[in-house]
Structure 1
């Protein structure tokens, strides 16, 4: 079974569940209570929109327990003496790895929390999570050509630029060294 919580120095990464996604989509005032964290004012961030939430919920519903951990992950900044636990971003995988061991990741950080290295830390955590599954051999990611901050996050995490994909996005790849649980 895939671990559904992953810790980094400043973040707790929590795998999305059907209950969390349902609350996020349909009962937003209960979502932070279930999550146990304060929401930023601009939630949801970036490309993590209602369509992404619905996609993750549909995939978790269709895939049952085997789908857990292969879709959305919430990035919660750990409490400090001056601030409570706060949801700062979302990321995750677009599904389990394919037959060759390739999985795709994506991520978004709330505007109020950008520029603090949290996206880099979130991606590091997703890479570590992929390694922990023992199933992923290669990760891919895409950014828009006019998003240098996102490109820097990937480069800082050992991804290499592979050129443009057919949709005009910059494609990145990274080899993963799987580690059995």
Structure 2
């Protein structure tokens, strides 16, 4: 199992088996991760179609664990029990251009505690450590100020906007050189 230990969090990359459990058997998913059951799981933006797509990509492309969804776990949260607090990761392996897109979401009760910033930093460090990445990008909506603050705190800079179906999307970018500085 691919995992990253951060200051307060443990990040676990889903493989096809874990992705399938998350999608179809939540109790078994929590058990496999050795975490408390979370009634509010999954976090925003990880709806059923997204979970199905994650499982399909991991099934079709073995060995790509880490380039899709990671579970954010707070070890020893209460009485020695680990707790799922959010999730995120990348929208697939990097292309030939060395660019990968990151996304993340926290359960509501674990927001505004610096945990998203910690998780994003850990994911960025992991991605750059593979030697395959020259830039990490992220897209968010203009009204999601907390998400933008996480990106800014982790070194991203605003890189423009685009329109999609009448909605403005703000793009952020972090280049390897800037991350290393």
TM-score normalised to structure 2 length: 0.91
Residues 58-102 of structure 1 show CA distances to partners (whole Å, capped at 9, x for unaligned) of: 11111112x121111110011156452101011101111111100
4+ runs deviating over 3 angstroms: 80-83
1:46 matched residue in structure 2 = 44
Shift of 1:27: 1.3
Question: Counterparts of 1:149-168 in structure 2 under 5 Å?
Answer: 149-167=146-164, 168=168
Residue segments in structure 1 that go unaligned for 5+ positions in a row: none
Contact residue 103 and residue 138 of structure 1 kept, 8 A: yes
Question: Counterparts of 1:46-65 in structure 2 under 5 Å?
Answer: 46-65=44-63
Residues 7-60 of structure 1 show CA distances to partners (whole Å, capped at 9, x for unaligned) of: 100111100111111111111221110111114331111111112111111111
How has the CA–CA distance of structure 1 residues 81 and 44 changed in structure 2, closer, same or farther, with 3 Å as cutoff?
closer
Contact residue 40 and residue 110 of structure 1 kept, 8 A: no
Partners of 2:97 and 2:42 lie apart in 1 by: 32
Residues 97-145 of structure 1 show CA distances to partners (whole Å, capped at 9, x for unaligned) of: 1111000000000011111111101100110110121101100001111
Contact residue 43 and residue 86 of structure 2 kept, 8 A: yes
Residues 119-175 of structure 1 show CA distances to partners (whole Å, capped at 9, x for unaligned) of: 101100110110121101100001111100000000000000112123211100001
1:171 matched residue in structure 2 = 171
1:116 matched residue in structure 2 = 113
Aligned residues: 174
RMSD of aligned alpha carbons: 1.5
